[in-house]
Amino acid sequence: MKKTLRLALMALATSAFCITVIPTAISADSVDSAVKSMRGIDTQAADIAPEEKTQLGKKPGSQKTVSRSFEQQPPVIPHATENFDEITLEENQCLSCHDVGQYKKKNAPKIGDSHFRNQQTGEVMKQMSSARHNCVQCHVPQVDAPPLVENTFQTVKATKKK
Ligand code: HEC
Ligand code: HEC
pLDDT at 160: 60
| Distances, alpha carbon 48 to alpha carbons 41, 45, 51, 52, 56, in Å | 16, 9, 9, 12, 23
pLDDT at 74: 96
Q: What dihedral angle (degrees, nearest 10) is formed by the CA atoms of 28, 30, 34, 39?
A: 10
Check if the beta carbon of residue 135 is closer than 8 Å to that of residue 88: no
Position 75, amino acid: P
pLDDT at 5: 62
d(CA 104, CA 83): 22
Atom of ligand 2 nearest to the CA of 98: 35
80 lines ligand 1 (CB under 6 A): no
Nearest CA to ligand 1 atom 23: 77
pLDDT at 13: 57
135 lines ligand 2 (CB under 6 A): yes
* CA 113 to centroid of chain Cα atoms: 24
Average pLDDT of adjacent 10-residue blocks, the chain of 162 residues: 61 53 50 70 79 93 92 94 94 96 96 94 94 96 91 77 46
Nearest to 126 by CA among 101, 161, 158, 152: 101
